Structure 1
Amino acid sequence: MRIDVISVMPRFFQSPLDTGLLAIAEKKGLVEIHVHNLHDYGLGRYRQVDDTPFGGGAGMVLRPEPVFACIETLKAERAYDAVIFLTPDGQGFDQPTANRLSMLKNLIVLCGHYKAVDERIRTRLVTMEISVGDVVLSGGEIPALLLMDAVARLVPGVLGDGESALTDSFQTGMLDCEYYTRPAEFRGMKVPDVLLSGHHRNIEEWRRRNALERTKKRRPDLLGSDRKEEL
């Protein structure tokens, strides 16, 4: 998988791409990430990428020329499966979306900045708009890292234990169950007996029920009526 990120703050990605899961994914040759400085396509002597909005008002708006130039340059080199714009008014980012994106080959991720981007960018270039939550950030860099981490860990071979990703929260439409490790008793708190029994069928049933109970308590919105009836 290849991901091309477009940002006015490319240095923001330096540390995250040098450490952690994204660095592992790149080192294994399974994910290739390239960060492009939008200012390289800026206008004039000062490489301008933004301007004041028509009609007045506060804030600055990303101009269309640099974004078009950058994306058209990338598209001249290869075909892309999606051009993703990270924006508060996009569709909510969730696990099924991460699953679908992980199966694609080439992605462009456009990080917004300032007040907005020129709407013609969204109309002509963007194929998918994603929001990571009902909150406004200073730019799309943090959401881009979140998206890349969520997607990269699903690429086969990135995680040491690929099965782990299949049992994470949201993969089955609900939260994951509780987990315990050694010691079996700590400060008077004991691990549930069933987890020490070695009876795999009973353990799997306990985990299923526990996941349902946790989801009902913490995120009941995730449960359909059929699952609510199981509790």
Structure 2
Amino acid sequence: MVALPQGKYRRGSPRNEQARDDDEGPMREVSIGYHLAFGKFEVTFDDWNACVADKQCKSRSGEAKWRGGKRPIIEVSWDDIVEKYLPWLNGKLNLSGASAYRLPTEAEWEYAARAGATTRYSWGDDIGRGNANCYNCGSRWDNKQSAPVGSFEPNKFGLHDMHGNVREWVADCHSDSYAKTPTDGSKGRDTSNCSRVLRGGSWTNNPRNLRAAFRDRNLPDNRSLFSGFRLVRTLKPKS
């Protein structure tokens, strides 16, 4: 886990950003006025399999080498994470309430992904070569399989794979715009049977889907070869 600094950022994308979608606006300033510990890496098969060993989660391993070890866990739904993995993990660590592990809110995720940048990606406006695992992005895993977590350089917050590798579930229901979403880092309003947001793009996506502002979504019971997650905790301020 990496402790993130408090700060502010402009959420979403400007109207002139290349490949922009309508649900990426209007841009709004969001303030993260609290202390966060953010997962340095995506949750791995090894992490998930500890829950499997305790008979609280179902195995997602396979014969292929990229279906295990330090590769990001895949084929887990939002429901699997929230209803199975997180209760197991927090129970093991005796954590509850505001200090418990959870999925990041969508606003927290974008703050962490940007790491102070205002560009399409945390390193600039061009995808470049070898910066991330995505379709035609210049790595040996492109459009073939996930990469071991930490295979690419971290962003300025010290977080790896915020762009590419696997899409990451976040806490929020999808909204058509940011016009009425919170500006304090909290998640938006829950609605029944909503689609949940995924961020960051995956090893099979084009670079447009890896943009810091890009928003994907799926039903909370969906499982995919391209989707995983990472953890976050709210930290108590030092006395």
TM above 0.5, one fold? no
> Higher relative contact order by CA 8 Å / sep ≥ 6: 1 or 2?
2
Select the structure of larger CA radius of gyration. Answer: 1
Give the TM-score normalised by structure 1. Answer: 0.23
Greater share of helix:
1
